[in-house]
């Protein structure tokens, strides 16, 4: 019986993905599940190097299609080097961001086009979409207010509010397109409530697979 399960966390900047996914991973491990926690862009050495190039605030000259290709290249390496081998060992893989981020940020917010970015990404991921995606739903402004206190803001964090608003619009398109695999959680709630709801959604999926 299939045990492996690929779960992603998505949301605009400041939506609390890392805090919530870290909680879920710890809870799953405490329950005895075999889990790895990873992130995009990054997760393995080559992909982390690509992350550095993409997010360096100095790289203001980066063309939007270059950005699409770099995210897709980092995703490919991460998938083949880490995600697929872990799934082959029947592990649960929890990943902060995956292809939906490219569709929302590059496809819609950068204006490259949803279908164009999906085509590039299908080449990168073959047919490996997540089994479940937890979307942390928050307005662009609330997310930006939350990250304003951070010491370091990367090249995308530094984009104008209008860009981040388009990211949220982009995610609405992603939600319409992939309704069946995405669970939406209101990230305006207390963090403990968000964590509890995320864990419930993940456990429901994981139990269906074991």
Using CB under 6 A, list all residues that contact ligand TMP.
13, 40-41, 55, 71, 96-97, 101-102, 105-106, 156-157
Judged by beta carbon, residue 96 or residue 137, the one nearer ligand TMP is: 96
Task: Please work out, in degrees rounded to the nearest 5, the angle formed at the alpha carbon of residue 98 by the alpha carbons of 47 and 186.
Answer: 135
- Looking at the Cβ atoms of 102 and 195, the one nearer to ligand TMP is 102
**What is the C-alpha separation between 25 and 82, in angstroms, rounded?**
17
State whether residue 13 is helix, strand or coil.
Answer: coil
User: At closest approach, how far in Å is the CB of 121 from ligand TMP?
Assistant: 8
Cβ at position 68, least distance to ligand TMP in Å: 8
Nearest distance in Å: CB 91, ligand TMP: 21
Q: Three-state DSSP class for 14?
A: coil
Q: Nearest-CB residue to ligand TMP?
A: 105
Task: Give Dmax over CA atoms of the chain in angstroms.
Answer: 49
Query: For residues 10-29, b (16+ Cβ closer than 10 Å) or e, as one string?
Result: bbbbbbbbeebbebbbebbe
- Smallest distance, ligand TMP to C-beta of residue 199, A: 20
Q: Between 86 and 140, whose beta carbon lies closer to ligand TMP? A: 140
How far apart are CB 110 and ligand TMP at their closest, in Å?
A: 8
Nearer to ligand TMP, 81 or 209 (CB): 81
Q: Is 140 helix (H, G, I), strand (E, B) or coil?
A: helix
Other C-beta atoms within 10 Å of 204: how many?
Answer: 11
Q: For residue 133, which of 22, 33, 10 has the smallest C-alpha distance? A: 10
In the bound state with ligand TMP, the residue whose beta carbon lies nearer, of 81 and 157, is: 157
């Amino acid at each position: 019986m299939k045990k492996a399960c690929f779960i992603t966390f998505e949301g605009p900047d400041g939506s609390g993905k890392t805090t919530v996914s870290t909680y879920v991973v710890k809870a799953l491990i405490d329950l005895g599940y075999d889990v790895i926690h990873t992130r995009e862009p990054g997760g393995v050495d080559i992909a982390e190097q690509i992350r550095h190039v993409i997010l360096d605030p100095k790289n203001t000259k980066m063309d939007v299609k270059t950005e699409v290709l770099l995210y897709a290249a980092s995703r490919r390496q991460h998938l083949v080097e880490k995600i697929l081998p872990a799934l082959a060992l029947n592990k649960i893989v929890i990943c902060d961001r995956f292809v939906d981020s490219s569709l929302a940020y590059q496809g819609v917010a950068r204006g490259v086009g949803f279908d164009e970015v999906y085509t590039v990404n299908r080449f990168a991921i073959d047919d490996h979409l997540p089994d479940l995606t937890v979307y942390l739903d928050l307005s662009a402004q609330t997310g930006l207010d939350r990250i304003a206190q951070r010491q370091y803001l990367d090249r995308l964090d530094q984009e104008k509010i209008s860009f981040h608003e388009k990211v949220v619009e982009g995610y609405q398109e992603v939600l319409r397109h992939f309704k069946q695999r995405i669970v939406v959680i209101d990230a305006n709630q207390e963090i403990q409530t968000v964590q509890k709801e995320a864990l419930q959604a993940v456990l429901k999926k994981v139990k269906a697979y074991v």
